[in-house]
Structure 1
Amino acid sequence: MEVAMHRSFRLSLVPLALSLALPAAAQEAAPAAPSPEEQAMMEAYQKAATPGPQHARMAEAVGTFDMVVKSWQAPDAPPTTDTGVSTRRMVLGGRVMVEEAKATMMGQPFDGLGLHGFDNVSGRWWATWNDSVGTGLMVAEGDCDDQGACTFTGSWNDPVTKGKVTARMTSHWTDANTEIFEMHGPGPDGKEMKMMQITYTRRAQ
């Protein structure tokens, strides 16, 4: 009888011991608070990754657009005109816009893929472009105003000279559903000329 009571008393102490030990163990296992430097670093990364008003404005340009593409080979030559369709959508949680274009260029099928974004760190807009008439990458950076008018400078590798070609690109909206894109680059004489103009007209949803 006495042995049984002693054993029962010891067993009753186990929950009490565990209840006292667990908070201490949890306190020992809790990670240390970040240092001021670590906290500042985390806040900087969070600020860089958070979509802002520029990304919201970019999202206003999503949709399906009919394109009219005019291309010039020389300043005094008439342009060729082609047509196509461009679709734009937001990805990566509203941080980047993807543009996919399908058109004809000089009678041949043409596919293009572009990315558009705003870098919170640099405070500048950026764009990339790949298409089916090459294997290289065009990279551009620029600025846009509150009305959506943008000026970019971009470059790519020239297949003939193997050197960099630099172009100036502008875009603006004439109304809520029409955007005009223009590209100016070096002409045959090396002087800047208008190379391309694309009129985007958004289809009704």
Structure 2
Amino acid sequence: MTAAGVVLLFAAACNSEKKESVGDSTAVDTSVTTTDTVTKPVDSAAMMKAWEAYMKPGNEHQMLSKSVGNWEVEISFYAPDGTIASTSSGIKAETKMIFGGRYLHSNYKGNMDGMPFEGMNTLAFDNSRKVYISTWIDNMGTGLMYAEGNYLESKKQMTFKGTATDAASGKQIPFREVFTMIDDNHQLMEMYDTKDGKESKTMSIKLVKI
């Protein structure tokens, strides 16, 4: 049981006790009394069981762990016409499972267009909501990219949808990310933005395990 789970159980128990105490009869006059409805106590055993299921790593987390290791990274950006505008190679990624095998965490370091580059990606599977979650931050901005999606075993592919900040307009731009685990040593991430109702490929990341 995590500290957060203990806090939630304690809060629920306290809340239940408060609700039960409200049920005392209160005299309004010599002939009329009112009684508040008593809320049933929280089933702490059921809450404990649900929380244990929520925190336990499963098959989905085992699948994520296959990406653990060191990777050589090549990042390409695409022009509006679909051609490659620039490519940066020599970037390294160190990927590991953290917090007892619950999250896949990757650190990227290298140079991009002659500038130092650092990025951080976290992949998760939410046991309760049954969705995969991806977050990304880097030193090329001050925002955080957040996306949710699913995994298709037949294609070894994860598809995410989310939003990212367009620095030029300050608006949130919808994006789609396709992450393909080609084999144990090769992966491909492709990013597509949607502007004015039209989707276009903006970036690809090739990863080769070293």
TM range (shorter): 0.7 to 0.9
Equivalent-residue separation in structure 1 for 2:194 and 2:161 (angstroms): 13
Matched residue type, 2:56:
T
Equivalent-residue separation in structure 2 for 1:145 and 1:190 (angstroms): 26
Please point out which of 135, 139, 154 is paired with 2:162: 154
Instruction: Tell me the number of residue pairs that the alignment of Structure 1 and Structure 2 aligns.
Output: 168
CA-CA distance at 1:190 after TM superposition: 5.4
Does the aligned pair in 2 maintain the 1:82–1:103 contact within 8 Å?
Answer: no
Does the aligned pair in 1 maintain the 2:185–2:209 contact within 8 Å?
Answer: yes
Matched residue type, 1:41:
M
Identity of aligned residues (%): 30
Equivalent-residue separation in structure 1 for 2:80 and 2:125 (angstroms): 33
CA-CA distance at 1:77 after TM superposition: 4.1
* Gap runs ≥5 in structure 1: 1-34
| Alignment RMSD | 1.7
The answer as to 2:137 corresponding to 1:168 is no
Alignment of 1:36-51 (within 5 A): 37-51=43-57
DSSP-derived class of the 1:172 partner: strand
Cα distance change, pair 175–80 in 1 and its aligned pair in 2 (3 A): same
Alignment of 1:51-90 (within 5 A): 51-83=57-89, 84-90=91-97
Alignment of 1:132-151 (within 5 A): 132-146=139-153, 148-151=156-159
Bigger drift between 171-180 and 62-71 goes to 171-180
The answer as to 2:115 corresponding to 1:108 is yes
Bigger drift between 109-118 and 139-148 goes to 139-148
DSSP-derived class of the 1:79 partner: strand
Does the aligned pair in 2 maintain the 1:75–1:194 contact within 8 Å?
Answer: no
CA-CA distance at 1:165 after TM superposition: 1.2
Larger Rg: 1
Please point out which of 178, 196, 205 is paired with 2:186: 178
Cα distance change, pair 36–154 in 1 and its aligned pair in 2 (3 A): closer
Q: Output the TM-score relative to the length of structure 2.
A: 0.75
